[in-house]
């Protein structure tokens, strides 16, 4: 295993722990707790969690071409008018996206991570390296997971234990 693969394996292990802590924090929440917000104009805890799931599925399916149609359907959990999800549905969505992402990460070689992929988003064409997409989804998870943790803590609920 090359240094790049060792680095990716270490990053994936840390991301797995973060995924686990996020799921543990969300699992016991009631619908009322999932509806809590840090401020009236910000997304609720449940909306942020659905946003994480949708972004994972969107980037990995639409840009990296991972997962099947059922996986792609998760990318719409953040769409206007999408149904409210229970804590167990959210934790399941995190697990489903994590499974596809983890399988892909275990398969990627250093050459795979350097490959340039083209995507069209909102009518605009973009080119991304696979490695950049992986990093972007990590930073997205960390950013919004922190948002969830902050919101939980400010409402006296158990935040992520990291």
Domain residue extents for the chain: 3-154
Contact 45, 34 (CB under 8 A): yes
- Fill in the DSSP letter of residue 44: B
The arithmetic mean of pLDDT across residues 35-41, rounded, is: 97
Residues 20 and 13: their CA atoms lie apart, in Å, by: 11
pLDDT at position 2, please? Answer: 54
Contact 97, 53 (CB under 8 A): yes
Confidence grade of residue 37 (pLDDT, cut at 50, 70, 90): very high
Measure the CA angle with vertex 130, ends 125 and 133; round to 5°: 75
- Which residues face 46 on adjacent strands? none
Give me the CATH code for the 3-154 domain, please: 1.20.120.450
Per residue in 40-91, pLDDT (tens digit) is 999 999 999 999 999 999 999 999 999 999 999 999 999 999 999 999 999 9
Per residue in 109-126, pLDDT (tens digit) is 999 999 999 999 889 999
């Amino acid at each position: 295993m090359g240094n790049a693969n060792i680095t990716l394996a270490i990053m994936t292990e840390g991301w797995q722990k973060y995924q686990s802590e996020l799921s543990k924090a969300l699992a016991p929440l009631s619908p009322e707790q999932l509806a809590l917000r840090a401020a009236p104009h910000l997304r609720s805890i449940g909306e942020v969690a659905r946003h994480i799931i949708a972004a994972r599925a969107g980037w990995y399916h639409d840009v990296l071409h991972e997962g099947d149609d059922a996986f792609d359907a998760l990318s719409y959990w953040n769409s206007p008018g999408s149904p409210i999800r229970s804590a167990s549905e959210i934790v399941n969505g995190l697990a489903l996206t994590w499974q596809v992402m983890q399988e892909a990460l275990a398969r990627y070689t250093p050459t795979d991570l350097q490959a340039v992929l083209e995507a069209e988003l909102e009518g605009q064409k973009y080119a991304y390296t696979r490695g950049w997409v992986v990093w972007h989804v990590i930073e997205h998870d960390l950013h919004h997971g922190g948002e969830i943790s902050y919101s939980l803590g400010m409402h006296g609920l158990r935040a992520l234990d990291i």
